[in-house]
Amino acid sequence: MTRRLIVECVPNVSEGRDPARLARVAAAVRATPGVTLADVHADPDHHRSVFTFLGEPATVAAGAVALAEAALAEIDMREHRGIHPRIGALDVLPFVPLSDTPMSVAVTLAHAVGATLATRHALPVYYYGEAARRPERRALRELRHGEYEGLAARLGGEEGRPDDGPARFDPRRGAVLVGARGPAPGQPRPRPGLDEPARSSRHADPRRLRSGGAGGGAARDRDRAR
């Protein structure tokens, strides 16, 4: 019997206050065949939202690209103000292997999706976690140094050169951090066999997006806190 590989993607976008925008981003994920959108958590104080979706590797890659395109179209970093460190409209894009899926699958996905975003959108891409191409870039805190406001200067130096994409500052979109990691400690895991469309539809409804106050969602995804 062929083993089914399941990967979760937990992107964080720099929008947490406009339900209509978030619903359009969620709709892009839901429109991807084979992907289950399990959760959307919006935090207006952080001005940030965490999406959680899962499926087989190829479908999750397609969902990640679709989400990225929607988020980049919706979010303008020149207007963004929030209390959470961030570097771009699509701030972090981590891939998490579930069940018996090997980490190498998540790393391959991270590099493939990152390369697609770099080529398609001329976006600076940095790899972190297990997908890091330089040991000093494994931790998010290092890649977020200077945040969005310091990104232009960082891209101008050799140490800030992205792993993929141009070393060019896009004031509207910023840059993206793409990674591979294990499940966050204490975070409930979606069932690999989850396929109820009603669950995805409910969390994509702009009237029902869950939100938390300052720090209210900090435990949801460790990519937010580091």
Structure tokens that stand for 141 in this block: 């805190």
Cβ(126)–Cβ(143) under 8 Å?
yes
Residue type, 121: H
Cβ(194)–Cβ(38) under 8 Å?
yes
In the chain, what is the greatest distance between 2 CA atoms, to the nearest angstrom? 53
8-state DSSP, 188:
P
Listed residue (166, 63, 167) closest to 122, CA to CA: 166
Rg for the chain, CA atoms, rounded: 16
Listed residue (103, 109, 12) closest to 59, CA to CA: 109
- Bridge-partner residues for 41, per DSSP? 50, 210
Structure tokens that stand for 205 in this block: 């409804």
Structure tokens that stand for 217 in this block: 């969602």
Q: Which of 41, 46, 47, 84 is catalytic?
A: 84
CB atoms within 10 A of CB 197: 10
84 is an active site residue: yes
Residues classed as catalytic: 84
